[in-house]
Amino acid sequence: MPVGLLALGTYVPDKVLTNEDLARFLDTSDEWITTRTGIKERRVAEQNQFAYDLAERAVLDLVARHGEGALADVDLVIVATNAPDAFFPNTAALIQNRFGLKAAGYDLLAGCPGWIYALAQAVGQVEAGLARKALVIGSEVLTKITDWRDRSTAVLFGDGAGAAVVGPVPDGYGFRSFVLGADGSGGAALHMGALANTLPDGTRMSNKIFMNGREVFKFAVRVMDTATLEAIEKAGLEKADIRLFVPHQANLRIVDAARERLGLDWEQVVVNLHKYGNTSTASIPIALKEALDGGRIRDGDHLLFVSFGAGLTWAAAVLTWYGGGA
Ligand code: UT7
């Protein structure tokens, strides 16, 4: 039984922080940020908005688009986040309660690829008969864990959330492949400590987002290439079969490198990082919904997702779009 996406909803906070705003308190400029990343502005959650609140709004958007019925039969909730409200209770359990679902719920921590990791788990559980439908959410308030004195990271991140219902779709549609990977030897390159002071390799951890941008950049370009090609091959497709590429929205130069290796035109690539910056686990569902609303996705299109991030981790997936759902 194929499993695909049946419904989609997203949310970004109203408050906009532009590059010019950042240049008022950081030694940076719109010119530097634009040429090095492609980002022009990002959204910032209100003081009293956290991962749960953004996730809730994304699910409300999903329900507004698809109706209450979209949540019927959802018996699993997974929230991918790198900035949870609490160690426990988990965000997914709070969402289960908010929407009155009879469902299992857990959070998943896997860096920016967390939403694709969560999709893979949801698809696997539906295929195995462990769940009927799953609500898979990516929700981030990275601006709350940003070191606002560090210009090399503070300019990159934004807040947002995306939610999707995963469930059975007709033959010929649905997820055709997943590629997931991790390499903890690069863990120090992108970290934020919690209880421990150091990583196993002795690296003293920061209590805000720390990143060695150059190292992560090189890793990203490498895995975007290998993971996408592997996902296309596992799906039994060729590069030319991919209709739309929906990459993690971290840096336009990274997206461009992947686009070139895949031999795609810009019209086949979804880019919205200029508006939202890097929203981590939320970046792909937000980009996907924009593409859908912009009429860029048709029934039967083969879509390619890819992401990379803290762990270090990476993930890619190929989805044949079911137009009768979302
Ligand atoms: O979801 C995964 C998250 N991670 C990422 O997506 C990050 C991947 N990495 C990147 O996107 C890029 O490495 C960055 C955008 C973070 C940085 O771009 P870069 O071209 O790798 O620049 P760099 O780190 O090599 O820095 C070049 C220069 C440095 O100055 P010097 O040493 O050449 O004098 C930095 O101090 O740019 C300086 N710099 C800045 N200047 C103005 C770093 N950040 C800024 C800034 N404004 N915001």
163 and 180 together in one domain: no
213 and 305 together in one domain: yes
Please report whether residue 123 resides in a domain: yes
Please report whether residue 326 resides in a domain: no
Residue 213 confidence (pLDDT): 96
Please report whether residue 130 resides in a domain: yes
- CA-wise closest residue to 282 among 38, 37, 115, 157: 115
292 and 153 together in one domain: no
Residue with CA at minimum distance from ligand 1 atom 13: 213
134 and 207 together in one domain: no
CATH of the domain at 137: 3.40.47.10
Cβ of 309 less than 6 Å from ligand 1: yes
Strands of 90-173, DSSP E = 104-108, 133-141, 159-168
Cβ proximity of 93 and 64 under 8 Å:
no
Q: In terms of pTM, does the model score above 0.85?
A: yes
Q: Which residues are catalytic?
A: 112, 248, 278
Residue with CA at minimum distance from ligand 1 atom 28: 152
Residue 216: band (very low, low, confident or very high) from pLDDT cuts 50, 70, 90: very high
155 and 223 together in one domain: no
Residue 324 confidence (pLDDT): 86
Domain edge (last residue) among 168, 184, 208: 168
151 and 287 together in one domain: no
Identify the domain containing residue 268 by its residue range: 174-320
Please report whether residue 82 resides in a domain: yes
Cβ of 155 less than 6 Å from ligand 1: yes
How many independent structural domains does the chain possess?
2
Residue 185 confidence (pLDDT): 97
Q: What is the pLDDT of residues 238-293, one digit of tens each?
A: 999 999 999 999 999 999 999 999 999 999 999 999 999 999 999 999 999 999 99
189 and 259 together in one domain: yes
Distance CA 137, CA 324 (A): 21
Cβ of 313 less than 6 Å from ligand 1: no
Q: Which helix (H) or strand (E) holds 279?
A: none
135 and 274 together in one domain: no
Domain edge (last residue) among 105, 134, 168: 168
- Between 1 and 167, residue with greater pLDDT: 167
Domain edge (last residue) among 145, 168, 191: 168
Give me the chain's average pLDDT, please.
97
122 and 73 together in one domain: yes
82 and 230 together in one domain: no
Please report whether residue 325 resides in a domain: no
Q: What is the pLDDT of residues 35-70, one digit of tens each?
A: 999 999 999 999 999 999 999 999 999 999 999 999
pLDDT exceeds cutoff 70 at 326: no
CA of 62 to the centre of ligand 1 (A): 36
Residue 220 confidence (pLDDT): 97
Distance CA 323, CA 301 (A): 9
Instruction: Average the pLDDT over 134-150 and give the result.
Output: 98
Distance CA 91, CA 139 (A): 9
Cβ of 253 less than 6 Å from ligand 1: no
Using left for φ > 0, alpha for ψ between -120 and 50, and beta otherwise, residue 111 falls in: left
Residue count of the chain, please give it: 326
CA of 4 to the centre of ligand 1 (A): 37
Cβ of 281 less than 6 Å from ligand 1: no
pLDDT exceeds cutoff 80 at 325: no
89 and 207 together in one domain: no
Q: What is the pLDDT of residues 218-250, one digit of tens each?
A: 999 999 999 999 999 999 999 999 999 999 999
* 209-246 residues labelled b (16+ CB within 10 A) or e (exposed): bbbeeeebbebbbebbbebbebbbeebebeeeebbbbb
CA of 152 to the centre of ligand 1 (A): 5
Please report whether residue 289 resides in a domain: yes
Please report whether residue 43 resides in a domain: yes
151 and 53 together in one domain: yes
Q: What is the pLDDT of residues 180-211, one digit of tens each?
A: 999 999 999 999 999 999 999 999 999 999 99
Q: What is the pLDDT of residues 69-109, one digit of tens each?
A: 999 999 999 999 999 999 999 999 999 999 999 999 999 99
Using left for φ > 0, alpha for ψ between -120 and 50, and beta otherwise, residue 34 falls in: alpha
